[in-house]
Chain A
Amino acid sequence: MSESVKESAKHKGTSADSDSVLEIKGLDVTYSTSRGDVQAVRGLDLAVRRGEILGIAGESGSGKSTLAVALLRLLKPPGKVTAGSVMFHPAGRSPVDLLKVNGEELRVLRWSALSYLPQGSMSSLNPVMRVQDQFKDVILEHAPARKDSLGELIPRLLSQVGLEPRVGRMYPHELSGGMKQRVLMAIAVALEPDLVIADEPTTALDVTIQRVILQSLADLRTDFGVTLMVISHDMGVHAQLVDRVAVMYEGRLVEVGDVRQVFKDPQDPYTQQLIESIPRVGRRSS
């Protein structure tokens, strides 16, 4: 019974559903070092369905962040994608292999179709630009027609993540960690992208703020209908936020499935350990 659930979950995870936003097939990512090559992602197959929140779980070094930067095409040497394909199906555009597009084609695809939500504690905001200008440059780059509505659009995006309009006139160093994370969330959905890849969106925030951020993320899905891929080492985040969770270990996908199923009945021994190792909300409630 449980075996068949896992099978069906795995099947759903890898199948080329017509409603998939992203289909990853046989992805290999290697870091070449002076002491030999290190395979960070090995033969990974995964599909992201339109409108879902997919969690990627795993310990440090399991390859989940490498997967994120590889999908975003932000992988820097010595990292290199050595095999696989990533078919991306943006709405209203023809499907593309994210690993094959380059230059101008990739630049145009960015943010309007594929956006990125980095960790707020990282200095992802340009320290010398006002927050509103960091909205403005990306909106004008990809949707110049919205130039006249910017004055109304930016406060609306900020209020969507629970920030006052005056935050737009502030500089990043005047914001708290939680505020920065919200600004990044608002920028991520500014152009209503098909897919947002969030890399550790709650890490380095205190627990109360984490909760609020997770709630805002869930609201963004409801309001904007974005598809989210959330990378986090924190199983609590997955329990609270995601629809499906994919567990990675040593670069491989060990389990994919509905988050409730996975928590209730983890198939892989590693997933079991991962769930047992954390002070989980679910344990207290059950």
Chain B
Amino acid sequence: MTAEAPPEEAADRTQDSAPSPGVRAWMARHPLAAYAVRRFGLYLVELWGALTIAFFFFRLMPGDPIQTLIQSLQQNYIYNAQASAEIIARYRSEFGLDGNIFSQYLKYMEKLILHGDLGPSLISYPTPAQDVILRALPWTIGLLGIAAVLSWIFGLALGAVAGWRRGKLGSRILTNLSIALSHVPFFFVALILVYVFAYTLGWLPARSAYDSNISPGFDLAFIGSLLKYGLLPGLSIVLIGTFGWILSTRMLMVPVLGEDYLVYAEAKGLKPWRILTRYALRNCYLPQVTAFGISLGFIFNGNVLVEQLFNYPGLGTTLVTAIQQLDFNTILGVTDIAIFSVLTAVLLLDLVLPLLDPRVKYWK
């Protein structure tokens, strides 16, 4: 039996490769491209799976959005108390809530994939959900994106120095401060910042994204107002985020400092700055790049608490409003964007990592 196995295997192999010798050869010659193609295929499967789960998950939420819509119409307008069954049916069809759940699903996916259409929103009917989301997206990306980049840069730099000079007084203070502060919820820091700088000192505004007296435009007054209004919410995220990155960078840095190649670099008589950047940091920052990419993806979720606290017109605020009114299309739309951005960020990271670290190889 075992003696027969090898020829069988060999036969299988020739059969396997027989239909596609060109593809095999191409994959062997272009391992990176072959990997990219395979990885992209996986990405599409992941995307489909996550979108499907999200769709069915939100349909499990109790309540009927059409009833809510009818009620709000009744409250706001003089409206026939007994909405006719026809009108309800029309709304159901328009929101994609007619038919059984599988036909709803197929219709939803078709509109999403072929037309990029998320369906009408309920919170600002009849504006499509994608327009509602796109209106909020720049605020969220602007605030959270800049905050995430800044906290990563500060955290990586300070964490590297804290690890490099471990045992020194300054490093010990910074490390202990980071341990204490990195686990303080940022909305708590935001509350303190609001209390001190907005409420007590009155230096900075605590609500909204810009001064409503200034009309939005690409001029100094508006940009200044944006910065002024974004400072407190941004600061609360940057402060806590930075301390988190300091801790993790230091944790990655310390074991690298004991490596033989650091002793060797010292024996080489290289300048300390060069040893820190090219030998120590260069060998430990890879996990931080990965974590940073993933955290950038999560930005698209919006930061619900901070946006609510500062009444910032971002995705987080939109999401909360949508959930309160059972606006399926908008909730799903925000979730879909989050899924898309996280998966895309991870895909890009996987493709970029082999360029950052020669030891990372996905192919043989």
Contact = CB atoms under 8 A, between A and B. Distances in A.
B271 interface: yes
A138 B270 contact: yes
Contacts of B278: 126, 129, 137
Nearest to A110: B269
Contacts of B260: 118, 122-124
Contacts of B268: 110-111, 137-138, 141
Chain B binding surface SS class: helix
Interface in B41-65: none
A141 B264 contact: no
B197 interface: no
A128 B260 CA distance: 14
Contact of A142 (B263, B264, B269): B269
B263 A107 contact: no
A110 to B, nearest CB: 3
A182 to B, nearest CB: 15
Interface string A94-126: 000000000000111111100110100011111
B357 interface: yes
Nearest to B269: A110
B269 A127 contact: no
Interface string B266-298: 111111001000110011000000000000000
A138 B271 CA distance: 10
Contact of A108 (B267, B269, B357): B269
B165 to A, nearest CB: 15
Chain A binding surface SS class: loop
A168 B278 CA distance: 18
B261 A124 contact: yes
Of the candidates B264, B268, B274, the one having the most CB atoms from chain A within 10 angstroms of its own CB is B268
Contacts of B274: 137, 141
B245 to A, nearest CB: 21
A108 B267 CA distance: 11
A111 B267 contact: yes
A137 to B, nearest CB: 6
A205 interface: no
A266 B148 CA distance: 69
Contact of A74 (B267, B271, B358, B359): B267
A37 to B, nearest CB: 21
Contacts of A173: 358-359
B265 interface: yes
Contacts of A72: 267
